[in-house]
Amino acid sequence: MNAEMHHANSAAFLDAGGAFRRQPRAQGRTRPQAFHDNYDALLLFYDCFRSGRDVLLVGPPPHGFEKAQKSARIVGLPGEIPLTARHHGSVSVMITQLTGVPAEVDTIRVSLSDGQSFLLPIQPSHIEDFAGRRLAFTMSKNNDLLWIAEWARFHAKEHGTDAIVFFDNGSTRYETDEIAATIAAQGIAKVAVHSWPYLYGAPDPAIRLNPFYTQFLQVGSMSVALRRYGMESVGVLNCDVDELVTTSGKASIYEAVEQTPSGLIVMQGRYIEVVPDGADTPFGDHRDYSHYLADPKLALSGPKKWILDPKRAWVKNLKVHPYMHWIENRPSFSKTRDAAIFYRHFRAINTNWKDRRTELAPLPQQDLLIDEDFRQSWREE
């Protein structure tokens, strides 16, 4: 496999028998065992990589062992060079910033007070490689390669996407080299595929306000996509395999975000229903579907997705953390909305990993419309 496509990361895990482990918020509350089975109590860092003269470590926040992590002894190797850490955290992710790390240092050692020690190879930054590119990123598990191909092809055709960072969450249907080859075949010039077979996390039933804080994996991947790859790209698009972004015939989404005052566009979605167009469209992907509910409330996919212009000065602040549906610690009044910019959310493009979405056929009394703009976009090919 082309080494340029498969990119390594440096992960570290706490010892299950050690003194420290990550605790859920509001520790005294009762949770079902299924929650604990999917709660990542032991992962310390997902990745460790260069960022100029700094090195950044990205991982979940240390709920329950904050003092231990912040007092950890961190050195650069070779040379046993003591390093100073600054921590930039939120409820779902923490970036540990090591400043002024000499170029000859290729490994970081993190030592905790209970004797645990972790060696983290420093991975390279790819910011220069992806500079000037139109970048999209996603996380996926076992999605059909046909779906991944169409997702990449559509965004390349409609928006000029020419770079993709893809986090594979432990797929069993294929290898990461097949994902990379599938994406590259759609005309994507820069492809980085990561194998991230770590716990995804389940919502916390004991927490009302943001029970999804436990999805450390996806939030962490977003910081890696931005900080290791995207800081000099034209734009960074947050978009899942079952989502296709449209600007309703206007400029590319990347051109649109460059023209905004603060470099951030947020968008809502339109559900495309599980109603095949017919036997004349046997693509096996998004192009088989174009029906949506006439009732705008029922057709609305409310969770917001976004595109970011990473070159804006405020994005350099490491307290800014991208999440699935918002940007944590963004400046006030920094987001732009445009009714013509939205994403099509395809119910049929789903493995039913979270809910039985592909079985949600419209009721007989619900009126359907045809998304003619979407049909036209692929019929013109």
pLDDT tens, position by position, 184-233:
999 999 999 999 999 999 999 999 999 999 999 999 999 999 999 999 99
For residues 6 and 179, the answer to whether their CB atoms sit within 8 Å is: no
Q: Residue 328: which region, alpha, beta or left (left: phi > 0; alpha: psi -120 to 50)?
A: beta
pLDDT bucket at 53, cuts 50 / 70 / 90: confident
The size of the chain, in residues, is 381
For residues 89 and 61, the answer to whether their CB atoms sit within 8 Å is: yes
Does the structure show a pLDDT above 50 at 168? yes
How far is residue 14's CA from residue 12's CA, in Å, rounded to a whole number? 7
In 3-state terms the chain splits into helix, strand, coil percentages (rounded to 5) of 20, 30, 50
Does the structure show a pLDDT above 60 at 355? no
pLDDT tens, position by position, 315-346:
999 999 999 999 999 999 999 999 999 999 99
How far is residue 40's CA from residue 8's CA, in Å, rounded to a whole number? 21
**Nearest residue to 108 via CA among 56, 66, 163:** 56
For residues 301 and 270, the answer to whether their CB atoms sit within 8 Å is: yes
Q: Which two tokens stand for residue 75?
A: 């050195």
Percent of the chain with pLDDT over 90: 88
pLDDT bucket at 170, cuts 50 / 70 / 90: very high
Structure-model confidence comparison of residues 275 and 83, the more confident one: 83
pLDDT bucket at 3, cuts 50 / 70 / 90: very low
pLDDT tens, position by position, 358-373:
556 666 668 999 999 9
pLDDT tens, position by position, 80-131:
999 999 999 999 999 999 999 999 999 999 999 999 999 999 999 999 999 9
Q: Which two tokens stand for residue 244?
A: 């296709």
Does the structure show a pLDDT above 80 at 289? yes
pLDDT of residue 363: 65
What is the pairing mode between strands 134-140 and 163-168? parallel
Element housing 36 (H / E): helix 33-38
How far is residue 5's CA from residue 14's CA, in Å, rounded to a whole number? 29
Quickly list DSSP for 342-370.
Answer: EEEEETTS---SSS-GGG-PPPTTS-EEE
Q: Which residue has the tokens 């990542």?
A: 40
How far is residue 292's CA from residue 193's CA, in Å, rounded to a whole number? 33
Does the structure show a pLDDT above 80 at 281? no
**Nearest residue to 39 via CA among 183, 163, 207:** 207
Does the structure show a pLDDT above 70 at 26? yes
- Please state, rounded to an integer, the average pLDDT across all residues of the chain: 93
How far is residue 280's CA from residue 190's CA, in Å, rounded to a whole number? 34
Does the structure show a pLDDT above 80 at 380? no
Q: Which of 8-12, 219-223, 372-376 has the lowest mean pLDDT?
A: 372-376
The mean pLDDT of 305-309, rounded to a whole number, is 98
Q: pTM for the complete prediction?
A: 0.94
